Structures are given as C-alpha cells and as structure tokens.
Amino acid sequence: VSFLDNRRYGPALEQTKAGAVIVHPDMAARVPTDTIAIVTLQPYAAWARVAALFHPLPPSTPGIHPSAIVDPTAEIHAEAQVGPYCVIEARASIGARCVLGAFVSIGKGVSIGADCRIAAHVSLSHAIIGERVVIYVGGRIGQEGFGFASTKSGFVSVPQLGRVLIEDDVEIGANTTIDRGSAGDTVVGRGTRIDNLVQIAHNVRIGRCCVIVAQAGIAGSTTIEDFVQVGGQAAIAGHLTVGQGTKIGAQAGVISDVAAGQFLVGSPAQPRRDFFRQVALLKRMMIRRLDKGKGSLLPD
C-alpha cells in the first residue's frame, strides 16, 4: 500500500508497482491497471490511518525498570512503563499507560497524564503534562528561562517561578527547549505539534493545533493563537500576539503584532505577496542596470 499526495510525483504514480495506492480523485485515472486505487479527498490522512493499522505502536510493558530511581512520594500508575535509569523526583505523578524511555529525568511535582510517550534522555521539571502527549528524545521542558536585569555590577538573575503547561495531544520534537514561565506559565495548547530544535521562551502561550517547524524560535511572553503555522527557522519577537490561523514562512522574522489569517514571510516579516513583489522588483532593477552597462556596483 502506498499513497500520492503531491502532484509533483504524478509521473512516478504511473510507474508504481504497489498493490494499492491511496489517491485523490483527480489522480485516479493515472493509477496503473495492476494497482488498486483507493480514492479519497484526503490521501495523506487516509495513509496515516492505513499505516497505523499495519504498524501499531509497540505495546507498552507496564512496570518500573529496577534501575530506575523513583522517590517514594512519586505516584507511578501500575500500567505505566518506566525505562532503565530514569530518575523521578518527589511528588511526581505518571499516568496510566505512559511509556518513559531510558534516562528520563522527572523533576519534583511534575504531573504527566495518561498515555504519554516520553522518549529517552528527556528532562521535565516544573511542568504539567496532559494526556497522549509525545516528547521526543532530548526534549527539555521546564528549565529556567533567560531572565535577568542589568545593573551596574552586572546581571542579576530574575527568579523563574512559573510552570510549563502542555495540553492534551501535543507533540514536541527532539532537542526542543521550552522554558518555564517567569511569573505566569508557559503554555502549549491542545493538539499543537512542535518539531525538533525549536526554542519556546518563558511565558509564551501557544494555542490549539498550531504547527511549529524545526529550529523556529518564539521569544518571551508572546502569544500564538490557535491554528497558527510557524515555518522552519522563523523567529517571533517577544511580547507580541500572532492572530488565529496566521502562517509565518520559513526564516521569517516577526517584529510586530500580526492579525488573524495573514501569511507573512521575510525578515522583517510582511505579507507574502508584498515580499515576493519586492524580491522581483529589486531583481528587475538589477537586470535593467546591467543592461544599461552601468556595471554591477561590485568590485570585479
């Protein structure tokens, strides 16, 4: 079973030797006669469901590995799996059917809901985690953020006193960092997906079903409303609001509030159409100058 969700690969479809292919109705006619066409308006979502049927998650093996160090006041659900060399501090709680990989460190009072998967080498502190949350290897959740005041005798650290609240169904990528709030909390809303190596600073509030692509960074106290998409390596400055459903392109730099439903790119970020108009205009001016024989303004 295979699938096609990108018109770019249309020619490959005609050569497929797959037993069945999940395709959009527009592409159904191009499926070879020896291949079964499974036709749906959402081929990628259908593939997700079919693949999950053929490749279910490995079942958990409840129990605490004998090498794990668990504080007596921590509450580990009997159906949870705690991997080798985990360290779980006082008053932490781990919900039913959670699976913790090796070397996970869980700080004092951290609460993890049911059915979470916490991969190897993750650290969690000062955090409340919902249900069905997935945190990939090396994720860092709940450490102190970048907070200090400048004085004549140097920087003075500002105590970071808030938590990280991760709502249900969130996924957080490998080596991503999410700092605890300074006074309030840092929040990641239900269903949001965060990729690898992302930085979420203290007091950031991310809404529901957002998508934050790899290496993006969101500075302190910024609010990202529901359904926002942030491209890879994009940066959003602090103390801003990005409105619902807005898309921020890869490598964009957002330095002011953004209304709902925008699509911004560039650094500083501006509406996508304006950005590409300016790119095209500048290129045209360069070509015109060269055509007039005026030289390139660059040393040869």
Binding to its own copies (CB under 8 A): which residues in 10-39? none
DSSP 136: -
The answer to whether 273 and 255 have CB atoms below 8 angstroms apart is no
Member of 169, 207, 223, 228 binding its own copies (CB under 8 A): 169
CB of 25 to its own copies, least distance (A): 17
Q: Distances from the Cα of 148 to the Cαs of 144, 154, 184, 297, in angstroms?
A: 11, 10, 16, 45
Residue 283 is a binding residue for its own copies (CB under 8 A): yes
Q: Residue 112: which of 170, 158, 191 has the closest Cα?
A: 170
> Between residue 245 and residue 274, which ones bind its own copies under the rule CB under 8 A?
250-251, 253, 255, 266-268, 270, 273-274
- Distance from chain centroid for Cα 296: 43
Considering only residues 41 through 70, tell me which ones interact with its own copies, judged by CB under 8 A.
42, 44-45, 47-49, 51-52, 54-55, 67, 69
Of 31-39, 74-82, 92-100, 158-166, the segment contacting its own copies by CB under 8 A is 158-166
Q: Are 127 and 141 in contact (CB under 8 A)?
A: yes
What is the token pair recorded at 166? 């991760």
Among 215, 222, 223, 246, binds its own copies (CB under 8 A): 215
Cβ burial, residue 74 (10 Å; 0-12/13-18/19+): buried
Shortest separation between residue 104's beta carbon and its own copies, angstroms: 10
Residue number with CB closer to its own copies (33 or 40): 40
Nearest-5° angle of CA 202, CA 207, CA 210? 105
Please identify, using beta-carbon distances, which residue of 39 and 197 lies nearer to its own copies.
197
Specify whether 239 is catalytic: no
Q: Given the complex with its own copies, which of 33 and 61 has the nearer CB atom?
A: 61
Among positions 182-201, residues that touch its own copies (CB under 8 A) are 183, 191, 193, 195-197, 199, 201
Residue of 20, 39, 114, 214 interacting with its own copies (CB under 8 A): 214
Give the nearest distance from C-beta 96 to its own copies in angstroms. 20
DSSP 24-63: -GGGGGGS-TTSEEEE-S-HHHHHHHHHHHHSPPPPP--E
130 vs 266, beta carbon nearer its own copies: 266
- Among residues 143, 222, 246, 262, the one that binds its own copies under rule CB under 8 A: 143
Cis ω before 56 (30° cut-off from 0)? no
The structure tokens 């998409």 sit at: 229
Distances (CA, A) of 136 to 54, 121, 204, 248: 22, 9, 20, 24
Catalytic residue among 24, 55, 77, 202: 202
Q: Which is nearer to its own copies, 232 or 243 (CB)?
A: 232
State which of positions 71-130 bind its own copies (CB under 8 A). Answer: 83-85, 87, 101-103, 105, 119-121, 123
105 is written with which tokens? 């460190």
To its own copies, the closest distance from the beta carbon of 211 in angstroms equals: 8
The reply on whether position 213 binds its own copies by CB under 8 A is yes
The pairing of beta strand 154-157 with beta strand 148-151: antiparallel
Residues noted as catalytic: 202
